[in-house]
Structure 1
């Protein structure tokens, strides 16, 4: 019996690898090698290097799963030889030469962006704005997300990539309908542009924390397709 695909996660701008803690144990118990890359939040190049280091540690074929800005990262990192599929969760995904900033600017500005703070070139979510990021979690869990958030460099949103991997790999997309961080219309646009197999869910920007079963089901669907094609 063929081994199951490996899973490598890429987190977004205001997170770290632990944001996938509610789905990783189940995937491991089901026989997948799993690594959640710890992205630098300094540059796209650093993010790609972190994902490639994680891919080098697992067996192929592998599925990359990117949340939010992590979708931009897996699009740039996904041409690695081991990658067989891409899963996007409430994620950005670029065309060649397109920055995240340009992509976000084409759609209504989500409420979260009025609740950010900046100092010394770093950006983070204001305490009072965390509900726009993860409003379907309990108040205690929302404050945990706030306390453990990353603080990315602002210029990271201007980075571009030349050869997005979604053009040559099968893709799946989880579209979050109650999202106030990445506008649902933007999610719908990028998922349709990629030709992704798309599932919609009534959740905030963090379905892997608020509705992990839905995230797991989509990853399983991708894993089954990748295994069947191997």
Structure 2
């Protein structure tokens, strides 16, 4: 299992509260609610003027602008509902790629969770939450390493 700029939740935990003990990244202030007809819960996007700063700082301005314009809203339910099953990391070997400049999920949280679950860690110096786009070779290398280990 490979985590990239991720939450490593345990059973009963939720993403909304997972990073409460870590410095504020400014993400909460940048979220903009969306409501679709017939939807029971709101969804959120990042304010376009904050997208690059918080989500894609290591992308070009053009790439970040495209991302800001085409981002898919995230469900409030996805972040607020507690994990109701045993997490896969309890039974699978894990790797964790930590972008050191992630302003979406605090890198300190990621380091602590990676250590707690016993993941093999790769840090991407200066990487943002969008490291899969900005550093695809580095990300692919870890995924290949994980696959080969099996």
- Taking structure 1 as the reference length, the TM-score comes to 0.59
How many residues end up aligned between the 2 structures?
Answer: 141
**Which runs of no fewer than 5 residues in structure 1 stay unpaired?**
1-85
Shift of 1:153: 2.1
Higher relative contact order (CA 8 A, sep 6+): 2
Shift of 1:104: 2.2
Write the mapping of 1:44-193 to structure 2, written as runs, cut at 5 A: 86-120=1-35, 121-131=42-52, 132-159=54-81, 160-193=83-116
Shift of 1:150: 1.0
Decide whether the 8 Å contact of 1:94 with 1:161 is kept in 2.
Answer: no
Shift of 1:185: 0.6
Decide whether the 8 Å contact of 2:34 with 2:73 is kept in 1.
Answer: no
Shift of 1:152: 1.9
Question: Pairwise CA RMSD of aligned residues?
Answer: 1.1
**Which runs of no fewer than 5 residues in structure 2 stay unpaired?**
36-41
Shift of 1:112: 2.6
- Taking structure 2 as the reference length, the TM-score comes to 0.89
Shift of 1:107: 1.6
- What are the Cα deviations for residues 26-56 of structure 1, in whole angstroms up to 9, with x where unaligned? xxxxxxxxxxxxxxxxxxxxxxxxxxxxxxx
